Structure 1
Amino acid sequence: MKRFVRFPWRVYWKFFFIQLVAFNVLFVGVISVIDIRYRVRPFVYNEALLNFFLFSLFVAALTSYRFARPIHRMILKALRISSKRTYGDLVDPQEDDLLDDEVDDISELDVALNHIHRKMKKRKAQFLQAQEESQAFMSAVAEGLVSVSLDEKILYFNSQFAAQFIPPSLVNSSVLRLKDAIRSSDVLEGFAKTIQEGKVQRFTVKLPTLVDNQPRYFAVSVNPIRNEKTKNIYGVVGIFHDITELKKVEQIRIDFVGNASHELRTPLTSIKGYVDTLKEDVRTGQIQQAGKFLDIVSRNIDRLMDLVNDLLSLSTLESHAALKLELIHPLQISEQILAELAVLAAEKNIAIRVIGEVPPFMADAHKVEQVLRNLVSNAIKFIPSGKTVQIRWEGAGKETVVLRVIDDGPGIPQEHLDRLFERFYRVDKGRTRDAGGTGLGLAIVKHIMQSHGGTVMVKSAPDKGCEFICTFPLKT
């Protein structure tokens, strides 16, 4: 009986009776014509009519079933589709614009089609919502994303990819290929290889971008997109992760290790050379130069100690160690540093003057001393004999205190000012080493000022001296 579940009996019976009436009316008409022409006996006429009626019942039943059977299959299929479980309730059935279910000749089909229509509207709403969510997510991702077909036509790209690689004139182009946006052979080969082999490709490449018209480094990952059922590749997606800043950090690390190694090796080499010479002189009894050699060894050991101490100080500052805030007196700290560096200044006949008077403020006294010591000692080391250094304290309103260290030395060329606070950066490398600098003093000053929430800057020009300006925010 399962064959007749949801069978369209209304259609069947309508078609059945229409055929039955049509067949018998036609037969009666034919018999009437024969009867008029040949005068058929009544019992023959009645018997033929009865036999044809029975035959027409069979034919009408058979043809009606054959006619209703496809409709029955369509109803069952529609009901199966409409009764599938779906998730989400994005469309209110009460708001559907279809007519309510009505009993009609093919009411079952009508109901099934209405259900299918509602489900299609729900599926469409779900698809549109998922598409919007996907686009919002792709646009929020920091990496550039691009989806490419097997013939390397761009199917989708997010705003980051467009901003970096696609000229505005091509953004709305109907047909856009990968090579129109990126001309790097490494990238094109990576996408082509993924399409051919179906394997993920990862590589690093340097590409020109539209953001700042500067080449940037990208870690590129190219992944195949496969059909869930057939597992055939129908496209690839590329992810462009900007690693320019990571490259810069890595280069800084490499430079730092190289510079630190060089700075350590130079005094160690000198120490080893003079110690070996001194050992040979002691062995042969020639010790006239021993005192001079020991002085040189002692100076290099002091230089090593200064370098190690500066490295430790820089490491502590970069680890964001807590400041020991206390009420400091700027002029008192200046006098302490002045007394500490008096011998060094006297050797070059350099006058140091302290100018200005500001009220005490909250800061880390040891760190402020270090800032002042590094700036003043640098000035003493690098300006000619007979010049002057000024330590000037100023109050800039009620929110900041400004420290200025000014000298009237040879000054610094403009091209060096932007990099002056980098670790181990030297304007004149040979002259700096002769003066005994480690190359870390100004880097330490910058980190100390940043830890206080302040800033440091330099003003200088050749033959016009230097002015280092440190701004301390007043803390309560």
Structure 2
Amino acid sequence: MKWLRIFNSVQWKVVIIYILLLLIAVQLIGVYFFRNVEQYYEGNFRNRLQTQAELLQDKVADAMGSRENSQNQRKKIDELIQALFTLDNKTDVVQVVDQDGIVLSTSSDNKSLVGQKNVKVSRVLQGDVQSDVQIRPSPNGQRQMLVSYPVMEDGLVIGAIYIEAPMEEMYKTIRTINNYLIKITLVSLVGTGILGVVLARTITNPVKEITRQATVMAEGNFDRKVDVKSQDEIGQLASSFNHLAHHLREALSQKEEEKGKLESVLANMSDGVIATDRRGRVIVMNRRAEEILNRSFQHGESINQVLPLAQPLTPPLAEERETYLELNDSEDEHLTVVKLTFTPIRRPGRETVGLIVVLQDVTEEEKLDRQRKEFVANVSHELRTPLTTIKSYLEALDEGGAMEEKELASRFLRVTRQEAERMTRLIHDLLQLSRLDAEKVRFHKQPLLLSEVLEDAADRFSVQCEQKEIDFTLSISDRLPRVYADRDQVDQVLDNLLSNAVKYTQAGGSITLSARKRSDGFITVSVADTGIGIPKKDLERIFDRFYRVDKARSRSMGGTGLGLSIAREMIRGHGGEIGIESQYGEGTTVSFTLPPCEPEVVR
């Protein structure tokens, strides 16, 4: 019911409890007060009647003890009664009885009582009590007090005084006082109720304000503050709540900042990350994980659905483990190797509550490992071939037969020397490539006139081109800026490229050495030939170490298979780029770039 809802309000609870406590206190005080007022008035009423009886007792004792006849005694007693009681209280009934209980005189209008026996004073006449006070209802139903007091002479009871006094006036006075008290109580209750409401509002209004603030905070708004209207406990509570809101705002701000940092870290990680809950459902993942797996997935998916594992996981995982996953792209048949690291998330109590999966694309590492193995195998093969030749020729010379024939011995020594020089070139190239990889080569860069460098290179290869009947052309654009480079290394790059062009260009072909300025300020140098060209399938690996398109022909021409690799590292060291374009059977063009000698682009 609606009226029961007020009991759900602290304000009305305080008001009702406050009024009830006051009402109980007033009731207890009222009962105590009413009882004491009644006892007080009854005591005063009794004392008044006893005092009157005592005053009358002395006079009546003198009258009753005189030697006069009974008629005179009664007359004196009537006069005494009239003198003492008629003027004092006309409603009281006073009787004087003798020692036998016979009424000698009365103040009542009913004179027939004179001469009758009054049994109500028997206890006093018999000496059982000093005085007898009783409260009894009168014939008309009203309460009255009955007082019996002995009349003594020489220690003997010679009669008694009997007084009947109605108590209606006394009770009327008590009721009047009670009515005043009830009115005062009602006024106090109303005033107390008003003060209780004010007090309750004083307490509950700040609490309501704090409750509203808590609701607003629950919705994410921490900018609102509770008004502090006092410095009491309620005000201190409001201040503490504002302090709490401020710290919560800072804590949530830091949490959001940390969350943003974490999301930024996850988004920019080179490794994929997937986090799951205890049951193996995805709760956090980054973009890199989707890129590695080449698929998108949603929160709540099972980790076994996300990762195509041969053996499905059974969460929760107890220990850290690693495994490898091979993903095959059906479009280009490219195989991706992914290293998976599973790490369980544990609470301080060692209870497993989730799982972190780190995905590392180790395809390149696998390729590098294969390349390393191929490199070692190629180096071993390249060194073993000349060594085998040197060994066989030296053994032939050692046997003695070849030494006797000077022409044959000279040819054997010439071949041995050529193979030794080939090994020297190979080792020199390997050492140079190793220093380039370790970035231990110092580039002595300086401003250079590229036109002079290219003209010198053209001069060096002009004779070879004439001998092979190859047309050599030098093409340099006007106003070519200076470059910032190491002259020796640029010469070595040009020598490698031009040497390859001369080797693989047949008689009647042509070689063009050109240079032009790009729009970004870099200078592009190109070596174009009309030689045998390179098949398309070999272009991607042409800069790999020891890679040859035609291994037998390359060895016969004395190449080490490292020239283009060295050229690429040197150009990269200058901040440039190198690339190759070729059509099999039509020719090849190798181009590289160098930075101009200008402050804003010098590296």
Scaled by the length of structure 2, what TM-score is found? Answer: 0.54
Hey, what's the Cα distance between the residues in 2 that align with 1:307 and 1:94? 74
Shift of 1:267: 1.2
Hey, what's the Cα distance between the residues in 2 that align with 1:326 and 1:274? 49
Hey, what's the Cα distance between the residues in 2 that align with 1:147 and 1:265? 52
Closer/same/farther in 2, CA of residues 158 and 118 from structure 1, 3 Å limit: farther
Shift of 1:98: 7.0
Name the counterpart of 2:259: 135
* Matching of residue 321 in structure 1 with residue 321 in structure 2: no
| CA-to-aligned-CA distance 1:118-156 (integer Å, 9 cap, x gap) | 577567545643542343223222033322122211222
RMSD: 4.5
Query: Could you say which structure has the larger radius of gyration?
Result: 2
Closer/same/farther in 2, CA of residues 308 and 150 from structure 1, 3 Å limit: same
Over the matched positions of the two proteins, sequence identity in percent amounts to 25
Name the counterpart of 1:83: none
Name the counterpart of 1:377: 499
* Matching of residue 258 in structure 1 with residue 377 in structure 2: yes
Alignment-mate amino acid for residue 475 of structure 2: G
Q: 2:301 aligns with which of 171, 176, 188?
A: 176
Shift of 1:426: 0.9
Answer whether contact 1:452 1:473 (CA < 8 A) is retained: yes
Moved more, 200-209 or 270-279: 200-209
Hey, what's the Cα distance between the residues in 1 that align with 2:421 and 2:388? 14
Shift of 1:301: 1.0
Closer/same/farther in 2, CA of residues 113 and 26 from structure 1, 3 Å limit: farther
Answer whether contact 2:325 2:338 (CA < 8 A) is retained: yes
Answer whether contact 1:138 1:145 (CA < 8 A) is retained: no
1:34-113 to 2 correspondence within 5 Å? 95-97=224-226, 100=229
Hey, what's the Cα distance between the residues in 2 that align with 1:161 and 1:397? 39
Name the counterpart of 1:272: 391
Unaligned runs of at least 5 residues, structure 2: 1-13, 34-135, 138-144, 146-219, 599-603
* Matching of residue 225 in structure 1 with residue 225 in structure 2: no
Hey, what's the Cα distance between the residues in 1 that align with 2:362 and 2:518? 42
Hey, what's the Cα distance between the residues in 2 that align with 1:25 and 1:377? 127
Hey, what's the Cα distance between the residues in 2 that align with 1:166 and 1:458? 31
1:319-468 to 2 correspondence within 5 Å? 319=439, 321-328=442-449, 329-338=452-461, 342=464, 346=467, 349-357=468-476, 361-362=482-483, 363-384=485-506, 386-396=507-517, 399-468=521-590
Moved more, 129-138 or 201-210: 201-210
Answer whether contact 1:382 1:435 (CA < 8 A) is retained: no
Closer/same/farther in 2, CA of residues 176 and 206 from structure 1, 3 Å limit: same
Hey, what's the Cα distance between the residues in 2 that align with 1:132 and 1:413? 56
Closer/same/farther in 2, CA of residues 373 and 286 from structure 1, 3 Å limit: same
Answer whether contact 2:397 2:403 (CA < 8 A) is retained: no
Hey, what's the Cα distance between the residues in 2 that align with 1:213 and 1:428? 26
Higher relative contact order (CA 8 A, sep 6+): 1
Shift of 1:209: 9.0
Name the counterpart of 1:310: 429
Answer whether contact 2:324 2:340 (CA < 8 A) is retained: yes
Name the counterpart of 1:150: 278
Hey, what's the Cα distance between the residues in 2 that align with 1:448 and 1:438? 17
Closer/same/farther in 2, CA of residues 201 and 421 from structure 1, 3 Å limit: same
| CA-to-aligned-CA distance 1:37-73 (integer Å, 9 cap, x gap) | xxxxx9xxxxxxxxxxxxxxxxxxxxxxxxxxxxxxx
Moved more, 413-422 or 327-336: 327-336
SS of equivalent to 2:495: helix
Alignment-mate amino acid for residue 179 of structure 1: N
Aligned length: 394
Alignment-mate amino acid for residue 225 of structure 1: I
Alignment-mate amino acid for residue 359 of structure 2: F
Hey, what's the Cα distance between the residues in 1 that align with 2:596 and 2:30? 114
Alignment-mate amino acid for residue 149 of structure 1: D
Hey, what's the Cα distance between the residues in 2 that align with 1:225 and 1:159? 21
